[in-house]
Amino acid sequence: MKLLRYGPSGQERPAVLDAAGAIRDLSAHVDDIAGEALTPEGLARLATIDPASLPLVQGSPRIGPCVGRVGKFICIGLNYADHAAETGADIPSEPVVFNKWTSAICGPDDDIEIPRGSVKTDWEVELGVVIGKGGKYIEEADALSHVAGYCVVNDVSEREWQIERGGTWDKGKGCDTFGPIGPWLVTPDEAGDIGDLKMWLEVDGHRYQDGSTSTMIFGVAQIISYLSRFLSLQPGDVISTGTPPGVGLGQKPPVYLRGGEVMRLGIEGLGEQTQKVVKA
C-alpha cells in the first residue's frame, strides 16, 4: 500500500493511492495515518479494503506529511561512507544519533523556509523509516518486523548552526519546515529492496545527489536495534537514516540555499518531493 494524508495543514485526512495513482479517502475506516493504524494489525485491516470501494478525491489537493501525530523524529548522521568522505569525517564506529523536532515536519511539497540569520542552509535526501510495532531491546533479526513502511525525507540542515555554533547538531536540524516527509508511506511489501534503492536530489534542475542506499554504513535493521537499546520505539516514530554524497557542504566551494530555488528529490519506488525555498 501507498498511504498518504491530504488537505490543509493541520486538517489532513487519511487516504490510500490506488493502482491508477488516484487518491482514495480512508476517513470512514481510520481517523489518521497514525498510531494504531500503523501497527501490523492496523495495516492488515487496511489491506483488506478494496481501494475502488473508497471515495475518489477530486482535483489536486495538498499532500501532507505521510504520518500524523509523530512522537519522535530520530535521525542518523554520517551513515553513508561516501558522504562521510566528502565532509572529511571519519567512518563512525556506532550510529551518530540526533533529533529533529516534530515541529519541523511538513508536507513533501510545502515551501522550505530559510531561517532568519541563516547563511548555510543545505539539503539531504534520506530514506525514512516509520515504526509500526513498538518495542525496546529489539533484536536485529526481528527489527524489520517493527517497520510500518518507508518514505522520502529531506533532512534540511543549517550547517553553521549545526557545526560551528557549539553544542549538539540539533539546533541546525530542527527549524520549522526542515522535515518534509512523504508523499507516500510505502508498506514493506511494496518498497522493494531497501538496501539498494536509488536516491537523488536536484536544485534548480542541477543534480547534486545521485546515490543509493547500498552505501549505508548501518542498515535499517541495525539502526532500529541500536536505537531500541536507548529508548523505546512507538508506532508513528520516524527514523531518517542518513544521506548519500552531494550535499551543499560537500561542494567545492560549498553551495547553500539562498531563497528562490526549487528542490526536487526522490527515492526509487517511494515517490518524489518538490519544494520552493523561501525566506522566513
Task: Express each pLDDT in 112-124 by its tens digit.
Answer: 999 999 999 999 9
pLDDT digits (tens, 9 = 90+) for 72-121: 999 999 899 877 777 777 788 999 999 999 999 999 999 999 999 999 99
Helix (H, G, I), strand (E, B) or coil at 78: coil
**For residues 181 and 179, what is the distance between their CA atoms, to the nearest angstrom?**
6
Sheet holding 73-77, edge to edge: 23-25, 13-17, 2-6, 185-186, 147-154, 125-131, 238-240, 73-77, 96-99
The reported pTM is 0.96
* Average of per-residue pLDDT across 239-261: 96
**Which CATH architecture does the domain made up of 73-279 adopt?**
Alpha-Beta Complex (3.90)
Q: What is the pLDDT of residue 259?
A: 97
**For residues 16 and 6, what is the distance between their CA atoms, to the nearest angstrom?**
10
Name which of 200, 226, 228, 203 is nearest 213 in CA terms: 200
Q: Are 242 and 78 in contact (CB under 8 A)?
A: yes
Share of the chain above pLDDT 70, in %: 100
- pLDDT > 90? residue 218: yes
Q: What is the pLDDT of residue 164?
A: 86
- pLDDT > 90? residue 168: no
Report angle CA 238, 5, 216 to the nearest 5 degrees: 30
Q: What is the pLDDT of residue 34?
A: 98
Domain ranges in the chain are 2-53, 73-279
* Average of per-residue pLDDT across 28-38: 97
| Residue 239: all three cell numbers together | 527514523
